[in-house]
Structure 1
């Protein structure tokens, strides 16, 4: 079949929106008609070479849509079901899955290699060039074929143009605060960078019962926005040293938990220094695969017993946590609508990334169609 998709052919090249050929799903795969896809910075890191991926590739990993067709061995979804993508498929049988760490499933090694799990490709352009699928899902395509392990069935009343955010940004942010960072009621929290991930860490910390939530960002409008998601204090590092601010606010003790959603050496170092004795800092932002050393004194770990950890998809189990977080949205605990700064047509994808890189968006969303069958203006 034919589908519109956004293809990147080489490092630092722009998206080319074009019609391409999409093969039928294999026995264990699912054909999905996308309704919406979030615009995430992680894709861009692979376009610039900060992270390694096989190009050419159709990017996009934060999507939601409707199942059109399933392979003969797929039993957990059927045509017509509403689904949210899981950009980290889980086999259910490897060491990590059986230990409850499905976000670390061995299948994750396939997410940037290009082909599907069986080593073959589903997308080709009109010149016969095989096009890789980012995270095996390629949600920057109106139609896509994905592994059965990569779709999570959700309730049909959830609006998919917002539910798509729970595929990555929301699970990563909220999960980091609750699971990987382990916020406890009454604790003090600091979040470095309140974009699409950091804003969800803020609301995750609020849900977990944090006392103070300090949002740190260079964009004042994002800091103002963070207050609506639960931030009790804000600091712009252009105006004041964020570590000094955290120490002053906590009477020299430091925060219990610090979350770094930028992944620069400077801000990782700041997150560690802002901690109290025995505190935990979690790095969430994606950066260069050859990132230089971070400015952290080993004595912080030995003498102050601080912990520096990482967070992949917030430590979430997508099959459980995607429906759970959508239920939290339904109950009013989570705000998804407030995350979306602007919606775009697929043809505007380069503009969407320009806005993201310029700091103009919390989250942009590519809309493939409206409820009435139209598309964004």
Structure 2
């Protein structure tokens, strides 16, 4: 099969032939139909986060089940599915206490003595974030996908697998935004726009979108923002505090920078919560004023929107089909696999919401 392989940090992906194995007892072979190009992939390309190389990247996808292992009970051949990088085992402490997105059990991976899921010229390739979806096929654990209704378009379904689940889930699950509360979202890329959409679905009274690109205002408003701040020429923290007369109940950082994480905390009202969704590069730290904690302000991380994805993703599909989840405007461009590097170049310029690789194009 054709796949986009990262061979060296800082270099473009290469389209190469890769071999894929047969499904084990709890594994599913999927024909990839669409794969979103996510900023998280760029972190690994640029070396902000380490990963064994060479590797097939990609982790936001949807497809059709082709084969299943002998013990698979959750999906069957012909099912349309969304994948999720936070594969869960179902029996560890995290899973049994309702925190499936935090599962790190090795049971969802092949043993080191088994044949690898992906190979090239007889040598195993490490699977990227349990998926490796920049490829014509995926071989994954059954608890890394969920069946969805067949009238859902694949290119929009793929986005639910990462950016939408991450953004909407951070609002609804991680921070538990309540109707009428105030929200600020820093960064209007795919995850940030999804957080804005999630805040609107949750009934937030005021949703302030913040971005360095003034052209993102109309897009943010389309997803549910009530206000927009261009941080390129405005002190965002000061502006938010003035607009809300003291700060917001919830702030969401969707970029992955120390500076913006600090801003998210500093724009809170007393008792507010800052949620760091973006991937701050390894080794970087943030600095906060200790006295602020006397006002019961909180800062916390959010892993994949604290999802329960077998439940959440079919519901998000229904939200889209009923018009409440704004996925059409999230797709800025549809590309072929061979154009994947173009998508990352556009991402670096901050000009688009989301590019999607479509495999039937």
TM-score range for the pair, normalised by the shorter chain length:
over 0.9
Could you tell me how far apart the structure 2 residues matched to 1:76 and 1:178 are? 26
Partner of 1:360: 351
Aligned partner of 1:288 in structure 2 is: 281
Q: Do the aligned partners of residues 27 and 58 (structure 1) sit closer, same or farther apart at CA in structure 2, a change above 3 Å counting?
A: same
Q: Which residue of 1 aligns with 2:250?
A: 257
What corresponds to 1:193 in structure 2?
187
Q: Residue 24 of structure 1 aligns to a residue in which SS?
A: coil
Once the two structures are superposed, residues 247-280 of structure 1 have per-residue CA deviations (whole angstroms, 9 ceiling, x without a partner) of 11112x1111111111211111111111000100
Residues matched between the structures, number: 359
18-27 or 228-237: which moved more? 18-27
Are residues 1:268 and 2:266 paired?
A: no
Q: CA deviation at 1:110?
A: 8.8
Give the structure 2 partner of residue 372 of structure 1: none
Local SS of the residue matching 1:135: coil
User: For 2:126 and 2:348, how far apart are their aligned partners in 1?
Assistant: 24
Gaps of 5+ in 1: 370-374
Q: Output the CA distance in 1 between the equivalents of 2:36 and 2:327.
A: 12
Q: Within 2, Cα distance between the matches of 1:265 and 1:8? A: 27
Q: Do residues 233 (structure 1) and 227 (structure 2) align?
A: yes
Give the alignment of 1:49-68 within 5 angstroms. Answer: 49-68=47-66
Is 1:32–1:145's contact at 8 Å kept on the other side of the alignment? yes
CA displacement, residues 199-242 of structure 1 (integer Å, 9 cap, x when unaligned): 00001011111111110001112122100111111111111101
Partners in 2 of 1:122 and 1:105 — Cα distance?
20
Where does residue 350 of structure 1 map in the other structure?
A: 341
Report if the CA contact (8 A) 1:110-1:135 is conserved.
Answer: no
Counterparts of 2:110 and 2:93, CA distance in 1: 18
In the TM superposition, residue 137 of structure 1 has moved relative to its aligned partner by 1.1
Query: For 2:146, which of 152, 165, 190 is the aligned residue?
Result: 152
CA distance in 2, matches of 1:46, 1:164: 20
Secondary structure of 1:238's counterpart equals coil
Root-mean-square deviation (CA, aligned residues, Å) is: 1.3
- 8 Å contact 1:51–1:287 — kept in the other structure? no
Post-superposition offset of 1:320:
0.5
Deviations 1:264-314 (A, max 9, x none): 1111111111100010000000121111x213111111x211000010111
Q: How far apart are the structure 1 equivalents of 2:297 and 2:255? A: 20
- Structure 2: any 5+ residue segments left out of the alignment? none
**In structure 1, distance between residues paired with 2:66 and 2:93:** 32
TM-score normalised to the size of structure 2?
0.97
Contact conserved, 2:23 with 2:69, CA < 8 A, in 1? yes
Q: Provide the C-alpha distance between the structure 2 equivalents of 1:268 and 1:150, rounded to a whole number of angstroms.
A: 29
Q: Distance in 2 between matches of 1:223 and 1:144?
A: 37
